[in-house]
Amino acid sequence: MRILVIDDHPMMAEAIRLSLLTLDRTAAVVCVGDLAGALSASAEGTEFDLALLDLGLPDCAGPDALARLREERPYLPVVVVSGASDPETIVIALDLGAMGFIPKTSSRDVLLNAVRLVVSGGIYVPVEVLKARAAKTSVSEDSKGVQQDAPPVASGPTGPTPAELGLTLRQADVLSLVLKGLPNKLIARKLDISENTVKVHVSAVLQALKVDTRTQALIAATRLGLRLDG
């Protein structure tokens, strides 16, 4: 396993590196302190399974750093590791294609579980976002005079499959790539179909999950414990 840690604080980067080695002692963990270093380290011919990105880099801070990394390295899974933990910042990161968001206040176990999940093809959505979305849903239902409890967050592979949601195999393929943060253009290239066809499949996916945006789809898939294996 090869992991790229992008953080301008040497002590934090080293702490993350040591934590990752407890997950896999054979892992190759490369630490860089800015976006330029990340782009250089991940240049063509050097593949990483995952990048952990701090949003407070000296040469490109905030969501711009994530947007640029995703634009330059669209096939590199990125998890944001940030001092911020407010739902708005987390949702922005997920909107930009992050495969997860880990607040720096999280425990080592949370970090390792999130990394393990993303490397295996999953997505880590912090509980802060799930709680905020559940509260928003509850308020919305209250305004209609209906009280509903939010569905529980699935803790394992016990949720439905795409087929059980009424999705075709091709739509399931599109859903998997949407959840990995790939834009329509790259999905079309990867599946060898047109962008218009991708848009049709994305619409069907959003409808099946009863959401309006890709980020809402990601959150819904996490809450459902959606199983994409096979």
Distance CA 11, CA 14 (A): 5
Residue 154: the pLDDT is 37
Please answer whether residues 224 and 159 qualify as being in contact, where contact means their C-beta atoms are separated by less than 8 angstroms: yes
Q: Average pLDDT over the chain, rounded to whole?
A: 84
**The two three-digit tokens of residue 144, written as one number:** 């209609």
Q: How confident is the model at residue 84 (pLDDT cuts 50, 70, 90)?
A: confident
When mean pLDDT is compared over 27-36, 137-146, 155-164, 207-216, the highest value belongs to 27-36
| Region for 192 from its dihedrals, namely left if φ exceeds 0, alpha if ψ lies in -120 to 50, beta otherwise | left
Higher pLDDT, 199 or 141: 199
Tell me which H or E stretch contains 35.
helix 35-41
pTM of the full structure: 0.72
Q: How confident is the model at residue 153 (pLDDT cuts 50, 70, 90)?
A: very low
